[in-house]
Structure 1
Amino acid sequence: MGQQMRPAKMLKLLESGQRIPVMDGSEQQDVHAALNDEEGKDRISSLPDCILHYILSFLPTKEAVATGILARRWKDLWTAVPILDFDDSKLYSSHVNYWYPAEITRFMNFVERVLLLRDVSNIERFRLSCRVCFSASRVHAWISAAIRHNVKELDLCFFVDEPFLLPHRVFNCGSLSILNVEMNSIIQLPNSISCPGLRILHLGLVTFPDDISTQRLLSSCPVLEELAILDCDWINMRHISISIPSLRKLIIDDLPTFDSRAYCWGCEIKIDAGSLIFFKYSGYLSNDIHLIEVSSSVKALLHIPMVQEAQNPLMYSRLIKLFLQLKNVSSLGISGCTIESLFFREKMPNDLPEFQKLTRLELSMQLGVHCGGALMKFLLHLPNLESLNISKATLWHL
């Protein structure tokens, strides 16, 4: 039998943000007893629906649905839970490369049951992580259902065997505030895009289709504040302009490997964001980063592990160019290998500027053999430095 939990203890767990344990079917009587105080009054069930919906939002969706069997009061509460989270990763064995058809069917049926039985209330957050190869049409329908419920945050993580077309409504959703798409495929974009309320956009592992449609996406987010482009493939791109006046945070993590053509040319990424306060770049400079008028209010983080690649004149010129564009920042975080790449020739780069406004420097402790000398050379370019923080933390993993 499970351990009984008094209402006071349950409320304390809720206030602390901890997960409330959900009992097995054999322990349902204990759950019922736990929800009643010494006088036999069910304090939890007497709370308003909005509070109970908030409580259920802390549970995994599967467990939130299971609370419907606790009592008549709880029967339909889960149909209005503001957060839905579906993840099929538990269906796969970590030892062998196969999945279980029966479990997959149960997973898909469960997702559809939750969406079909849902009431008319809006969805705050919808997260879906699954293999699309099982049934792309059903996955498409699930996303569309979330959009019909005026979803505010859409988090999609897909493993695909062939290109998967996201519903066009994803890119024309007026209620959407946060969009996260992680998918090992070309992201096919519609001809018409309108994201009037989108504040945060994260793209991971996607392959950009071409200059025009990608530019259309970035130009259709007038209030975007945060943009993260993580391990995406730019091979089809030549020029892109990130010109978003409202943008405050920009993260670009380039792929560690790239096509030989991309190595020679890559994509020219022009960044013009007057409100920017945070910029992070991690990669091999296979693309040409062009920052326009970076202010002193920007905090920049750089991780460029290209000591060997720095022997390539094009790559090295891009490295120097990036430092030139960041000369006005007041706070800079860099990895040890970035310093080594900068001074790999064991002499002072002629074009390296003085960072007159830089007062704070953060450096990771992952230092190579030559990093100490390279750091001393770099410090000569920081005449107004006030704080130097050398730590074991990897500054670029945010």
Structure 2
Amino acid sequence: MDNSSRLCVQMNGGIDRISGLPDPILTHILSFLPTKEAVHTCLLSKRWKNMWASVPVLNFDLKEFGDGYSDFKLEDYETYIHRGNEFENPYNEYHDPRPLFEWFLHGVLENREPLHLGSLQFRWAPDGGCRQVSLNWLDDIVLLMPRVISVFIWKHPCPDFPDSVFSCTSLENFELVVDNVPKELVSPKSISLPSLKVLHLGGQVLTDDFMKLLFLGCPVLEELELDECMLVVSDISSNVLKKLVINSFNFNYDDKIQISCPGLLYLDVCSLGPTLFLKNVASLVNAYISLVDCDDFKFLSSLFNVTTLSLTLPFYRIKDLLEKDFPKCQPFTNLKCLEFTFRRISHFRLIVYLLKHSPNLQKLTLYLHELFYIDGKEEDLNQ
């Protein structure tokens, strides 16, 4: 530890023991703060002047800057990223004006120490009408070899997403969520993410071509979550995937999707459709299926090994589907916990069937929908 790290500064009759901590501990503490607050600490003393520049975590949030378009106050921010060079005001007459938020973000990237990055979190959720955000700066982030990248964009036009992120060899966890009309935002020509284990995509249009590139380029991908995505996909196949979550109401009713993942342990599907086919999922332990529309229940025959099963199924045609598909099902010999949500008398047929074919069932939980159908008539159970 150098002498500067050993100093305990006396202030107002007290002792500043925090400044005496080693640099690695101080940067670790700062990593829990938003980057704006971490940069603020440069005002504390010479000891802290450049400490923020070595923090292995970057956390940018538009809300930290109001609407991102407030009046620029040079006296408030000139010391943020000033490291001995002449401060350049990006709002003077020789420069195009741009939001303070974007200026701060680029300033941090330009002045940060060239150290490997642990994680990046970027949140862009403007309250008013802001211009489209650019994500080109992610090219610079990739050069820092990050392990985690999280990008969240709300109520804003979808920006073009740089392909460089899809060739980041250090990336282990990647989140890209856009709260807007689904768009084909990610369409890289190639994908090479040899370290990626967790992927969460939201608000995207995903195609079969993308899914093929994804599983070919992510040899160790274990967790995949697709949230409010429009899936123009017929097949999801992976030999290494262990957890799959699909929460989508953007299927075409006529679509059919096959899931073939022999190593899958956890499956959670909630959607309006399409017809769901499960293949090579004998390793499944936990399955949560909620379908608003479904042409058959053949997928149930693939769930015979699960220990936990949660079902929410369409409220119509269940009798016909049961008679057609259930004779093909194997006994659920491993099933211990069953949850079922129903809103029609005919759904009791399914419950009876599952009880008869689940010899080791330990826990049964029934959820009755507030609006329950009796003989084709909707009844309010609260009456």
Give TM class, smaller chain.
Answer: 0.7 to 0.9
Contact in 1 for aligned 2:245/2:267 (Cα 8 Å): yes
- Per-residue CA deviations over 1:284-303 (Å, capped at 9, x if unaligned) read 222x4332222255211112
- 2:308 is matched by which residue type in structure 1? S
**Residue 207 of structure 1: how far off its partner (Å):** 0.9
1:321 aligns with 2:298: yes
Tell me how far 1:350 sits from its aligned partner. Answer: 3.7
Taking structure 2 as the reference length, the TM-score comes to: 0.75
**Equivalent residue, structure 2, for 1:17:** none
Amino acid of the structure 2 residue aligned with 1:121:
L
**Aligned partner letter, 2:339:** L
Q: How many equivalent residue pairs? A: 328
* Cα distance in structure 1, aligned partners of 2:63 and 2:352: 48
Aligned to 1:355: 331
The answer to whether the Cα contact below 8 Å between 1:227 and 1:247 also exists between their aligned partners in 2 is yes
TM-score (norm 1): 0.72
Whether the 8 Å CA contact 1:177–1:198 is kept in 2: the answer is yes
Structure 2 vs 1, CA of residues 343 and 385 (structure 1 numbering), >3 Å: closer, same or farther?
farther
- How far has the Cα of 1:159 moved from its partner? 4.4
Task: Provide, for residues 322-376 of structure 1, a one-character-per-residue CA deviation record: whole Å limited to 9, x for no partner.
Answer: 21221232221234xx3x6487438953422243323322426x65363873564
Q: Could you tell me how far 1:158 is from its partner in structure 2?
A: 2.5
Is 2:207 aligned against 1:206?
no
Question: What's the counterpart of residue 258 of structure 2?
Answer: 270
Aligned to 2:38: 64
- Contact 1:67 1:75 (C-alpha < 8 Å) held by counterparts: yes
- The letter of the residue matching 2:253 is Y
For residue 175 of structure 2, what is the aligned residue in structure 1?
A: 180
Considering only aligned residues, what root-mean-square deviation do their CA atoms show, in Å? 3.2
**Deviation (angstroms), 1:233:** 0.7
Task: Please name the residue that 2:373 is paired with.
Answer: none
Identify the match of residue 280 of structure 2 among 282, 293, 298: 293
Aligned position for 2:363: 388
Structure 1 CA distance for aligned equivalents of residues 321 and 146 of structure 2: 55
CA positional deviation for 1:274: 2.3
Q: Counterpart in 1 of 2:217?
A: 220
Alpha-carbon distance between aligned partners in 1 of 2:263 and 2:289, rounded to the nearest angstrom: 19
Contact 1:294/1:329 (8 A) holds in 2: no
Q: Which sits farther off after the overlay, 76-85 or 376-385? A: 376-385
Q: Distance in 1 between matches of 2:346 and 2:122?
A: 43
C-alpha distance in 2, partners of 1:150/1:180?
Answer: 16
Q: Aligned partner of 1:300: which letter?
A: A
SS in structure 2 of the partner of residue 377 of structure 1: helix
Hey, what does 2:309 align to over in structure 1?
332
**Which amino acid in 2 is paired with 1:171?**
F
Cα separation, partners in 2 of 1:374 and 1:43, compared to 1, 3 Å:
farther
Residue-by-residue CA offset, 1:161-213 (whole Å, 9 max, x unaligned): 655321111111101111111134212422222111111111111012x4323
CA contact (8 A) 2:315 2:342 kept: no
Q: What amino acid maps onto 1:228 in structure 2? A: E
8 Å contact from structure 1 (residues 153, 176) kept in 2:
yes
Unaligned runs of 5+ in 1: 1-32, 94-98, 310-314, 393-398
User: Which amino acid counterpart does residue 204 of structure 2 have in structure 1?
Assistant: V
Q: Distance in 1 between matches of 2:310 and 2:70?
A: 48
Partner of 1:194: 192
Alignment partners' CA distance in 2, 1:134 and 1:334: 43
Greater strand content: 2
45-54 or 83-92, which deviates more: 83-92
SS at match of 2:365: strand
Q: Which runs of 5+ in 2 are unaligned?
A: 1-7, 73-97, 368-383
